[in-house]
Amino acid sequence: MNYEKLVKTAGRAAGTIAGAAACEAVISDNFIQITKYVLKTEDYDRRVEPVIAAAVSDLHFSRFGKDGRLLVNKIKSVNPDVIFITGDFFDYKNFSGKTFLSSDYSKVVLENISKIAPSYFSVGNHDIRWEEASGENLRQTVEHAGIRFLNYEYDDVKIKGRDFRIGGFFDYGVFEEDYYNRWIGSEARKFLLDFENTDAAKLLLAHRPNTFIYTKYDNRNTDAVFCGHYHGGLWRIPIIDKGIFAPELGFFPEYSKGEYNFGDMTMFLNSGLEGYSFVPRMFNRPEVMKINII
């Protein structure tokens, strides 16, 4: 092959790869996937109809049709009895000296989700940043949309005749050396011990998974914790389906998306709906989790 031919072939190959990457980015940022899971609780009885939970996370600035119609319809399609929203549904950006807020779209998406089934919201780190930037009150905003806001709180509820305790909290779960000592006396631990003190099935919403993975959360008497924050590792390696990057964990994180078991506790780690700011997702479709609780 002469030089000219080689350059042409390389150019064509590069163009094909760039085109395929662009197509993949469009798919991974727009076409929501429903992933299915089963959670077996202590009162498991195969004769009882499952309670269906839908879980979503990390909307940020993502757009899924007018008023979030595409997302709302996906959630509706799993026919949920209860919906868990694990934070970062609000965000802000500073760009060219201007501040952009996700407020209007996020609010209408939450309003539309709340019409499907009883919905619960726990706080994400970007929600806190949005609250500071917008001057609006996050709790009031979420409650105004018809959604129960859980921050170091829980509700005891009956769903399809079964008892559940549904709680939510926000904790940084940092990795400092003295974390364990700080954790022992922390509000987060105090809350969890109180939250877990019930015979009902315990479902917890916590944006950041860190607390449960790394911080010697010593009780783990919760049936399931629903998390987000890692956006599925942003880009995933196809075939082996491994995440590439997660905040705090760095490259090729051990935890990025899916179901993980820690003793009797199951973690459902949602891959969310957005990339990171201007960086699109790749091989990582936005996710609505459907969890059959049996």
CB atoms within 10 A of CB 255: 19
Shortest CB 249 distance to Fe ion, Å: 14
91: contact with Fe ion by CB under 5 A:
no
88: contact with Fe ion by CB under 5 A:
yes
Q: Provide the greatest CA pair distance for the chain.
A: 75
What x/- string results for residues 52 through 81 when contact with Fe ion is judged by CB under 5 A?
------x-----------------------
Stretch that binds Fe ion, among 88-96, 105-113, 138-146, 252-260 (CB under 5 A): 88-96
Residue closer to Fe ion by CB (options 189, 207) is: 207
Reading the block at residue 116, the tokens are: 């499907």
Residue closer to Fe ion by CB (options 88, 287) is: 88
127: contact with Fe ion by CB under 5 A:
no
Task: Provide CB contacts within 8 A for 7, sequence distance 6+.
Answer: none
Reading the block at residue 90, the tokens are: 């609000």
Residue closer to Fe ion by CB (options 24, 58) is: 58
Q: CA Rg, the chain, in Å?
A: 20
287: contact with Fe ion by CB under 5 A:
no
List, in sequence order, every beta strand (DSSP E) within 122-256.
Answer: 148-149, 153-159, 162-169, 201-206, 224-227, 236-237, 242-243, 245-246, 250-251
Shortest CB 257 distance to Fe ion, Å: 13
Stretch that binds Fe ion, among 46-54, 64-72, 85-93, 282-290 (CB under 5 A): 85-93
Contacting positions for Fe ion (CB under 5 A): 58, 88
